[in-house]
A and B are shown apart, each in its own frame.
Chain A
């Protein structure tokens, strides 16, 4: 089947800085904004840009991701000429290995690309929250007669050392390209989105592999710069790499701003509404006689009898009478029992907070075991954990999945 363009979606990231949120699932499968998962943004961008063949490259804990992508139907990529294919690492005659990096993952799947003989290949990551019409990017790539086009976003110069940075000529052609530079020559950071002319990509993948290169940013792009026309496409809209707990929390809270970003409704972000194992469809949210909800997103199946402010609740969350939830993100089917108080906490699926427990209360101390992950006050409670009645858990705490916490946890501790 011949296609003009196909997309390769990199969804293998472990997301280790997201700590226990990525313990049981790949980063793109982490819930976001109540009913979505992070990958929905990229999948919807692809669908809304009329690209209808997608290879999803998975490696790390792909189960929940595969279930979520299902047969591609939620994004309308289902039919005789439209499809999503999950491309996990595989053993074969010649190569038999895990994906060693982003370009290696695509390299190991050149057969998938060749099946469609596309003129162009779009390489995107499933880790980011943004909306982009890739059709404009592709038009730009063609207009510039580029061999490769990299999406660039202006970042504050002081943060530029965290990114791959490009310096472009006035024509848009990339002159220099440095990964995580000490002294950034510009503030244009790579978004990890690339368009390649297929034959150029194929040759580059072979050459890169021969020199043991495995990564688009580190190996493929620098190599292409030598001989090919590589252009930068500047993007100036909302885009977030939600790779840290802080960034993840902030991007969720952006949904609650007076002028919310990302503009999910306008962007037509689609998700898989059907969840395996759910016998019936979740009914609409019910707010009871003593409910008080302010500036929050409440998903289907929630039952609210307590107070919820400035928070994002996934489907099936119960907030009982006299319980308060503020500045928090609560995943599916968690229960906040009566009298409990939850402040600036990310609570994973099926967690039970028993009566009068207090979470996120205490002095500000950074997490001792993961100082890089938790320093701004957010406490994270892992999937299926239980916090016993009247227990206090401080700020910057990590409660491991399935833990039963029966003693107080001071700020900065990990249980």
Chain B
């Protein structure tokens, strides 16, 4: 795959995930215990043998920069292989933040020219899926398409996606971004292959416009003049645009929808182990239908939950339907339900988190936090005996002064 250069769009700021993306881009969110979301696309690229990858990041990239490191964990290291983080930069003429996904690639045209590939693959870092890109690339080349857009069939027609109308021969007849009523069930995976010169022309034309997004602007502008083909993907594909979808995607690993042993995802295993080496998980409690990572100590009860490395669940604690990030500590006899605890949180003894009030949506974010999930931000310390109602978001380093936090609260 030396003739394909890949860009990974990892930069966008998304406020929909509240405190979870307070300090990290969505693509850096932990998933399935030890991975970050971006690992899925990086592993897909690695397995396809793509040799050069540019990661476009803008919003708080430090977690990503550290995570990707030299790229060695995905074999993107060597004389002919490489991965580069491409942050916004200032130059002679252009000196600006990325104004959109297309602008981010446009500002890095020099990176494309450096390699002069036949095709450019553009993928989002925010999606959770295992796909063999090789047939996709092959299809693109065999059909001599100018652009090939990847689509997946959606069960629920949501206005969050771009939708395509595909004709019988596989041509993309029409594309609409985030329509009120989707015209088909084929949703764009924001995964594109471009002929290099077509891409560069399209980006140059788009640069004069006021909006710079691939789905909204670049694709529709190309529709009439170019051969745009659709490629249908039928495997598991999920995303983490909202708290609900992020939560559901994680839980899919507990319901046999995601078989990680087949996905062969790679991650940076060294990153969080640098401070403390992780032993195998030490388990001496009731653990049912859960993922338990290295370095965990479980003496309490864990059900339908996902534990990242280094989590400690004390005696008598009950953790249900929850996602607990690295090195969180859950004290004795504390109950956690449908709670996402960020890294290095400490929940004292005898707390009840997310156990009551699931019917009460968040007062500040009723659209985003209403299905009974409770969020505890990074490094928060919850004092012993605290009750926190469901649909509550506690931002990192909040001071918890009261014993009872009503459902639907937001603390900063």
Contact = CB atoms under 8 A, between A and B. Distances in A.
Given A287-B292, A297-B282, A268 B276 contact: yes
Most buried by B among A34, A283, A299: A283
Contacts of A385: none
A281 B283 CA distance: 22
A279 interface: yes
Contact of B280 (A268, A281, A288, A297): A297
Interface string B157-194: 00000000000000000000000000000000000000
Interface in B64-78: 73
B283 A271 contact: no
A155 interface: no
B364 to A, nearest CB: 33
Contact of B279 (A264, A274, A281, A295): A264
Contact of B293 (A34, A289, A300): A300
Contacts of B196: none
A153 B279 CA distance: 27
B43 A286 contact: no
Interface string B281-309: 11110111111111100000000001111
B33 A283 contact: yes
Contacts of B273: 273
Interface stretch (B15-23, B263-271, B333-341): B263-271
B266 A281 contact: yes
Nearest to B34: A284
A283 B270 contact: no
Q: Which of B286, B291, B292 has the most CB of A within 10 A?
A: B292
Contacts of A291: 287-288
A386 B212 CA distance: 60
B280 A298 contact: yes
Contacts of A294: 283-284
Interface in A246-290: 264-265, 268-271, 273-274, 279-281, 283-289
A264 B273 CA distance: 13
B34 A274 contact: no
B287 A293 contact: yes
A207 to B, nearest CB: 42
Interface residues of A, number: 36
A314 B273 CA distance: 18
B276 A283 contact: no
A274 B280 contact: no
A265 B310 CA distance: 11
Instruction: Tell me whether chain A's interface is mostly helix, strand or loop, or mixed.
Output: loop
Contacts of B294: 35, 284, 299-300
A360 B232 CA distance: 53
B277 interface: yes
Contacts of B32: 283-284
A273 B279 CA distance: 11
Contacts of B260: 280, 283
Which residue of B279, B284, B292 has the most chain A CB atoms within 10 A of its CB atom? B279
Contacts of A120: none
Interface string A293-330: 11111111101000000001110000000000000000
A12 interface: no
B47 to A, nearest CB: 8
A295 B265 contact: no
Given A291-B288, A293-B287, A298-B292, A284 B277 contact: no
B210 interface: no
A33 interface: yes
B234 interface: no
B261 interface: yes
Contacts of A285: 281, 291-293
B34 A281 contact: yes
A33 B308 CA distance: 20
Contacts of B286: 292
Nearest to B269: A273
Contacts of A314: 280
Contacts of A312: 280
B289 A287 contact: yes
B280 A33 contact: yes
B264 A279 contact: yes
B43 A280 contact: yes
A281 B269 contact: yes
Nearest to B283: A293
A293 B286 CA distance: 7
Contacts of A264: 277, 279
Contacts of B73: 281
A313 B307 CA distance: 18
B251 to A, nearest CB: 13
Contacts of A33: 279-280
Contacts of A298: 280-281, 283, 292
A287 B254 CA distance: 9
B269 A274 contact: yes
A300 B308 CA distance: 11
A301 to B, nearest CB: 8
Contacts of B288: 287-289, 291
Contact of B287 (A34, A274, A287, A299): A287
Contacts of B284: 293-296
Contact of A269 (B35, B277, B281): B277
A139 to B, nearest CB: 25
Given A273-B270, A284-B34, A300-B34, A35 B290 contact: no
Contact of A265 (B43, B277, B287, B292): B277
Interface string B25-40: 0000000111100000
Contacts of B270: 273
Interface in A11-48: 33-35
24 contacts: A34-B280, A35-B280, A265-B295, A271-B277, A280-B43, A280-B260, A281-B73, A281-B265, A281-B267, A283-B265, A283-B291, A284-B306, A284-B307, A284-B309, A285-B291, A286-B253, A287-B288, A287-B289, A288-B289, A293-B283, A293-B284, A295-B283, A295-B284, A297-B281
Given A285-B291, A314-B280, 20 more contacts: A34-B279, A265-B277, A270-B277, A273-B269, A274-B269, A279-B47, A279-B264, A284-B294, A284-B308, A286-B292, A287-B289, A287-B290, A287-B292, A293-B283, A294-B283, A297-B282, A299-B280, A299-B281, A299-B294, A300-B34
Q: Closest 8 A-B residue pairs measured CB to CB?
A: A280-B264, A34-B280, A284-B33, A283-B260, A284-B293, A299-B280, A297-B280, A287-B287
Interface of A: 33-35, 264-265, 268-271, 273-274, 279-281, 283-289, 291-301, 303, 312-314
